[in-house]
Every structure is written in structure tokens, then in C-alpha cells.
Amino acid sequence: MTTDTHTTSGNEAAGSSPTWELSRRDLLRIGAAAGAAVAGLGAIEIARDPQTGVTPEGAGARPVTVPSLCQMCTTACGIVGHVADGRLLRITGNPEDPNSQGSVCAKGVAGPSVLYDPFRMLYPLKRVGERGSGRWRRVSWDEAYDEMATRLKEIRERGKPEEFAFQQGRNRSADIVARFLNAYGTPSHFNHRALCSSNRRAAIATTIGESDWDLGDFENSQYVLNFGSNWAEAHQGHIPVAIRMMRARRKGAKLVTFETRMSNTAALSDEWFCVKPGTDGLIALAMANVICREQLWDKQWLDAWSNYPAAKVAEHVAQYTPAYAEQESGVPAAVIERIAREFAAAAPQCTTICNRGSASHRNGYYNDRAITMLNALVGNMGKVGGWCWHPNSAWDKKALPEPGPVPDKPKAKSVIAEAKDWPLANAFEGKKMKVAEVIYLWIKEGRQKVSALMTYNADTAWSFPEAQLVRSVLKDERLIPFHVCIDVMYSETAHLADLILPWATYLERWDIDSRPPQSLVDYVGLRQPVVEPRGESKDIREIFPELARRIGGGMQTYFPWKTTEDYLEEYFKPVPGGFPRMKATGIWIDPAKKPLYEPHLKRLTPDELDGAEEDTRTGIFYKGKDEKTGGPLAIGVRIAGVPRRGFLTPSRKVEIHSDFVVGAGKDVGREIQPLPVYEPIPSHQRDLPDDHLIMTSYKINVHNAHRTMQSKWLQEISHTNPALLNRATADKLGIADGDWIDVTSFRPDDPAVPGGDGSKVGTLRTRVRLTEGVHPMVLAIAHNAGRSVGGAYATNGKDTADNPGYGEATDRDLDRLWWKGAISVPQNDLLPIYPDPVVGGQSYHDTVVQIRKV
């Protein structure tokens, strides 16, 4: 991570004067209006010369700086592109961004190496051999549009719009994607949230109702309990969390991490406890036990603001003793007791953080409910230095609404997108999790017909669990007769497409974007091209309007603007200075807004109360009709005699006990516990033989997903993913450091899981790295490795294909690929489809594997 890489003082110290220069070809279209806006706004640091004064080869032009947003991961940090003569020289952080505050990580810095990757796909390609043969013909955009329009028009006119399925990966252009799909009328919009954060989101949504994302106020905190978040290397809020956490640490805040592996985050902690996978929630419950038993709680807050009184919470958690938690997790009871006391003593300036380490388990939903409850117990919710959230998880969409006309949601139904077997997958309004890992299994089983599939920034054939099953489905033209792949790089998924559309990188395209505000003030950002798109690559903001026009049938009416800039001009009208200002600064924050602590405390105004009815039993105020449910609309709750906004749960309080989730379960015949509980993971409970381990996965600081593997800069830093094995375990098995092992994985023997019959999933061969930094029962393998296609850098020299899609496969560094042939294995091929039975989140850390020395 680099911090404060681009600041006003730094520039001033270097003696550079503020400039805002246009490139020779005016390619960024930041014209006189933007320049005027900058001048008018005054201190726009990002409009200054870069410190180095580096000039492009031969051009002699002075670099200009262009603010934009990163998309090397999902955190969307503000960045500044330093450009000269149309070429991006480097990327630094944008200090205007309230989340990342001018910092970028190694992945963010590596953006130019993806932009200029010699193996990028730069032209539309049409398959000429059988699907998967890797034989392609370059076609014009006109031909590509015609083919797509013909296919999609036929499906739509047949009255079966749901047969057109859209599979997205990381999507930061949600507005345009939803507009296109809704205008078309298809609900078959598949995401990958269940492979990411759905269990955690559902746990938070259950508890507070108004957000599915917690934003610990780390910077003001004195004590942070980390349950398996690797915020120092990954996490959806990677840089924003990391900079605040490190500031807090410098001020003396204590950080305690529970994690199965010694991640960089664990290494940065005051204390690290190596836990057995899937026991995080039990540790939290045992701490709750201590806090209740010793009355270290904030009873007054709990009794006022929770829907479950303190005494009843105490009764519930009495079963989760520290001794039981020690037996299951391996963390000594005395440690659990001590840390519970320390955490409560720091309240309200204490908070938890968690993520996939706790949530991506079969019991992940309950783990995260237990962790969230811990905060309610000590009364830190919404407080300075405590466990916070913001009702706007992006920009304020009331202040900046989408320009009309906006199409309605489709009336057609999608069996896969609305999978009913997991009651909480789609239970929370506006927070559709869906169940990504079953998509291709269900297509294979014929549960939903798919006549056309469009994959967008989604390498499902490599990154999904049981990726070999995904590949077999994508290969089968009877199951998917037409597959269009939109991506930057050639991937395992592109390899199984009929048509490949070269996507513009995030450095060549536009977006309106922002992330949950870590400083508790919402903001809006602009992603803008820092250079022109290479080759014939295009963004979906250009592709979709044209495709809609060719499909016709009314779709075109939802794309009335001529260019994306016209659309954004309209979108940003409510921002003072409008679109030109956004182009100049990249970020806008309403200066009237202050950090939003304790939003639930807002008093209902006389106007709000006028005409409202109070339920005297519950204290809830109702006024008007709830459009979604048709019932009365709750607007607040009386607490200690004062009418307040409350939380957006059914009780308007923090729901430690949820009747809502119990009801959602009953609707589909599945039992959901009303309270946070510990459910042991069945396949971990058996007496596993010595050579059977629990396989977990993780990310390291320089890799994210398939795109980062295309970066030669990042691949040079990390290009292998050996299996991490505890030394003591290795000694028992006679395995030495560097030995080759075969890893065989099994589906869980679990009737609640699709295909859960204990059968074998697959075997891969890799090398072992011995360490004390992993639990003795665990085999840890990073899952961002093991590409088979995508060019020489992404595959450690394996992909030598002369692919016509590889626009300019020449690069002076190709001869210097010193890591050629390094071992990089696809862990996703070993992972069974393993959704948590309640929400459907993939249990990434629960796979039982057998290892054998080769």
C-alpha cells in the first residue's frame, strides 16, 4: 500500500504550479468547461502536474492528470491517471476521495500493466471451429451487433425474455446493466454475490434492516475484534479500512484477530488466534456469554434498542460457555474471557470487523449474526469509534436519481435468479443475494432454459466452484445455444463463447460509482477514461444502447441520449458544477453532510407524526401504505417516550431475535433459528483421518481475480499458490517442505447441500509449503491462480496461442518472463458447490480434502 502519494503539499514542495492541460488530441474531452470549473473551484490538487515531470518517450508533452476510479478490485478507490501524449504513465491516489484519501494499493498502481497488456482482446471475434476449439475469426462490430440483435430479438419476440441470461462478475456499471436487462424484460440476471459476501450481508440486514454493510469507525476506535477479515490485503473496503485501522493502531488501538491462517492482517495484530474453521461465531457467542454473565453489557441500551431484552439474551447465550468454545475452536477459554472483558471495557469505542473468514462457511450466516450481536451487547452501535453503518451504501440516489425514462422491472420470472431453496437469498428488499454457485448446475439439470447467455467481466469457467462443471455446461450448445462474452482478456469463459466482445478497461471508460462511505458521509464518484480505448474495445455503455436500437421493440426508448457523456451530463446535473466539475475532481461530497452516527436516534418531526398512528403495544408509528408489502408503512418507534426513526427492521429496533427470518424459512419448509446460534459443520465433526484436512482459500495483497493475473507487474510478484500446511501435520504425514502432493476434494456428506453425497470432486497436484502460520487441520490454497489461457503473463508462460484476439502480442518483457513454468493451480476446480442452507453463500472454507505425498 502506498499512502498520501499525491498531495497538495507534495506538489507545492516540488515547486510545481497548478496546471490543467488538455492533451494534444483533446481525447479526454475535459474541455474548456472543465478547465473553467477547476479554476473556479480553486484548490483542486489533482489538476496539478505530477511531481516527477516524467515525459513520454519522444513526445515532449507535459503530463496531465485525470481523476477517475480504480476497478482492480471492488473498492473503487479514487485514482489519478498521469497521462502524456495519450499514454498513461502511472497511477496515484486521488486525495479528494473520502474513502481512500489519496492512497492506492499495489493492484491499483498496476493498472497500466493491464491496460497495456499485449494479450488483451482488442477486436470482436466470432467462433469458427467447434465451441472450445480456440479458433476465431475477427469480425466487425457491425456483424457482432447484427448477430446478437437477431438472436436476442427472436427470444424476446417469442415471449420468453427470461431465456436470455446475463451473468455478471464484478459490475460497477449497475445502472446501465439494469436498464438494458429491464428494458429487454429478462429477470435472468445472475451475479456472484453468493461467492462473495451474501451470508454476511444477510446477517447484517437481519439485525439492522437498513444496510447490509457495516462500517466500523476504526479510526476512532480503541479496540477492534477481527473475525477472519484480511483487510490488509483484500476485503471490499481494503484501502479505506487499512488506512483508518493503521491510524487507530498508531494512536494505541488494540487489534485482535481470529483467523485460521497467519495473513498479513493477522501479522499486523496485537494478538492472533489460530482458530478451527467455522468457529468464529461460537467464539463471539462465548464472549457474549461472558459479557452477559459478568454484566459487562450496556443493559440500558440493549433494553431500549434491541427487540430482545438483555435478560433473555443472557439466557440464550448461557449454553455457549468459553469452555465449550475452547473445545470447538481451540482458543483457550481464559483468552476468550479476557478478550470479552477488554472489548466491553473499551465500549463504546470498540468494534468488530468480519468478512469471508467468518461468513463463507456453512454456518456463516449465524457466525456473522453472533458477531454483530456482540456489538449490540456493549452498546457501540452507531457510536463514535463503534460499529457503524450508513443507509446509503453508494451515493444518495434520491439526490442523484437515474435519468429517465427508466424501465420497470421485468414481469417474467427466473427460476435460477429467484432460487427459492435458500430462504434468505432474496428475502431482503433491494438486497438480492441470489445463489451463484448453483446457476450452471441448474442449467444442466434443465431447471431453466437458457437460449442465450451473455457473460460480462465474469470468468465463471475458472472462478466458480466446480469450475469444471461450469465449463462442461458452457461447452454444451444444447444447454446454451448462444454465448456472448464481454471481457478485457481472453479467459476460460471466453474460450467457450460464440462471440467475444473486447471490453474497454476501467481506464478507458465511464461510470458513476461510489462505495459504502467509511467516513460515514456519502459521496459520488466518476470513473472516466484516462486514455482512449485501445483497438476496437468498447464499454457496455456504448454496446447496450446500440444493441437496444437494433433489437427495437421499444427498448431503444430507454436509451435516448447520443453519447455516454450526454447521459452523465444529465446524471450529474444536481451536483454543483455538474458533469464538468465531476470530470475535474472525480468526486463530489455534499458539504452540508456530516458523518452520520446513530441514524436511528433521529426524532420524528411534527410533520412526520402528523396523521401517523402509534401501535401502543410496540410503540411503532405507521403512516400511509408500504408500497412493497401493501401493509401500513412504519416510520419510527417510541423509545423512552421519544418518537424516533429507529432501525428499518420490522420492530424498528436491532433484531437479535428475528421472527422475519423464521417466517421466510417456513415459507419454503426450512428451519431458520430466530437467534444467533452455533451450528457445527457436519463434515468437520467426524473423526477425520490424519491425511484428511479442511481446505480453505484466501487472497493475497497483489491478486484479486482473473484480471490481476493478466498484470505482468503483479504476476511477477506472485505467480504461485503452494498448499500451506502446518509443520506438525506434515511431520505426522512424512511430508517435507517443497514436496509434491495430490489433493483430492469431496462434496460434503450433507443432504442440505445440492449433490451433498460425499463424492469426489477432483484432484490436483501441487507443492507444499510448510509453516506454523496455519491451523493443523487446515490446508490453505490461494484461489486466485491457475489460469490456463489469457496470455503468457496470466499463465506463467503456458498460453502460447497465437490468438487473433491478442491484439499486440509483442512486449519487450516477454523474453524476461523468468517465472515461466511456475506452479499455479486452479483451486476452484476442487471446490464443491456448497451453499450455506439459509442464504446460499458459498462455503469456501469447509471442503474436506485428502492429501497424499506423490
d(CA 583, CA 422): 43
Nearest approach, Cβ of 660 to ligand SF4 (angstroms)? Answer: 34
Nearer to ligand SF4, 97 or 280 (CB): 97
- Check residue 315 and report its DSSP letter: H
DSSP E strand stretches across 702-830: 723-726, 740-746, 760-771, 778-782
Nearer to ligand SF4, 114 or 584 (CB): 114
Nearest approach, Cβ of 506 to ligand SF4 (angstroms)? Answer: 9
Q: How many residues does the chain have?
A: 854
Nearer to ligand SF4, 76 or 205 (CB): 76
- Check residue 389 and report its DSSP letter: B
Nearer to ligand SF4, 66 or 165 (CB): 66
d(CA 368, CA 353): 10
Nearer to ligand SF4, 93 or 533 (CB): 93
Q: Residues 6 or more apart from 470 whose CB is under 8 A from it? A: 440, 460, 461, 464
- Check residue 403 and report its DSSP letter: P
Count of Cβ atoms closer than 10 Å to residue 617 Cβ: 6
Between helices 540-551 and 141-157, what is the axis angle to 10°? 50
Q: Under a CB-based contact definition with an 8 Å cutoff, are residues 202 and 177 in contact?
A: no
Nearer to ligand SF4, 193 or 238 (CB): 238
Nearer to ligand SF4, 77 or 779 (CB): 77
Nearer to ligand SF4, 94 or 221 (CB): 94
Nearer to ligand SF4, 62 or 247 (CB): 247
Nearer to ligand SF4, 712 or 798 (CB): 712
- Check residue 158 and report its DSSP letter: T
In the chain, DSSP finds a helix count (H) and a strand count (E) of 27, 27
Nearer to ligand SF4, 235 or 769 (CB): 235
Count of Cβ atoms closer than 10 Å to residue 479 Cβ: 17
Q: Under a CB-based contact definition with an 8 Å cutoff, are residues 68 and 81 in contact?
A: yes
Burial of 132 (0-12, 13-18, 19+ CB in 10 A): middle
d(CA 173, CA 167): 13
Answer positive or negative: Cα dihedral of 107, 108, 112, 114.
positive
Nearer to ligand SF4, 233 or 437 (CB): 233
Nearer to ligand SF4, 244 or 369 (CB): 244
Nearest approach, Cβ of 27 to ligand SF4 (angstroms)? Answer: 23
Question: What is the per-residue burial (b if ≥16 Cβ within 10 Å, else e) of 76-112?
Answer: bbbbbbbbbbbbbbbbbbbbbbbbbbbbbbbbbbbbb
Nearer to ligand SF4, 1 or 589 (CB): 1
Nearest approach, Cβ of 268 to ligand SF4 (angstroms)? Answer: 16
Count of Cβ atoms closer than 10 Å to residue 622 Cβ: 16
Nearest approach, Cβ of 233 to ligand SF4 (angstroms)? Answer: 10
Question: What is the per-residue burial (b if ≥16 Cβ within 10 Å, else e) of 797-817?
Answer: bbbebebebbbebebeebeeb
Q: Under a CB-based contact definition with an 8 Å cutoff, are residues 843 and 696 in contact?
A: no
Nearest approach, Cβ of 340 to ligand SF4 (angstroms)? Answer: 32
Residue whose C-beta lies closest to ligand SF4: 108
Answer positive or negative: Cα dihedral of 647, 652, 653, 656.
negative
Burial of 125 (0-12, 13-18, 19+ CB in 10 A): buried
Strand order of the sheet with strand 587-588?
Answer: 511-513, 524-527, 587-588
Nearest approach, Cβ of 705 to ligand SF4 (angstroms)? Answer: 11
Nearer to ligand SF4, 110 or 497 (CB): 110
Answer positive or negative: Cα dihedral of 802, 804, 805, 806.
positive
Structural element, H or E, at residue 352: strand 350-354
Nearest approach, Cβ of 107 to ligand SF4 (angstroms)? Answer: 4
d(CA 136, CA 157): 30
Nearest approach, Cβ of 100 to ligand SF4 (angstroms)? Answer: 6
d(CA 710, CA 728): 36
Nearest approach, Cβ of 96 to ligand SF4 (angstroms)? Answer: 14
Nearer to ligand SF4, 104 or 485 (CB): 104
Nearer to ligand SF4, 651 or 784 (CB): 784
Nearest approach, Cβ of 794 to ligand SF4 (angstroms)? Answer: 17
Range list of H helices, 87-237: 106-109, 111-115, 141-157, 174-184, 198-208
Nearest approach, Cβ of 77 to ligand SF4 (angstroms)? Answer: 3
d(CA 367, CA 678): 7
Nearest approach, Cβ of 92 to ligand SF4 (angstroms)? Answer: 10
Structural element, H or E, at residue 272: strand 271-274
Nearest approach, Cβ of 523 to ligand SF4 (angstroms)? Answer: 15
Nearest approach, Cβ of 793 to ligand SF4 (angstroms)? Answer: 18
Nearest approach, Cβ of 699 to ligand SF4 (angstroms)? Answer: 11
Burial of 591 (0-12, 13-18, 19+ CB in 10 A): exposed
Nearest approach, Cβ of 518 to ligand SF4 (angstroms)? Answer: 12
d(CA 818, CA 169): 31
Nearer to ligand SF4, 72 or 381 (CB): 72
Q: Which residues of the shown chain bind ligand SF4 in the complex (CB under 6 A)?
A: 70, 72-73, 75-77, 100, 104-105, 107-108, 238-239
Nearest approach, Cβ of 213 to ligand SF4 (angstroms)? Answer: 16
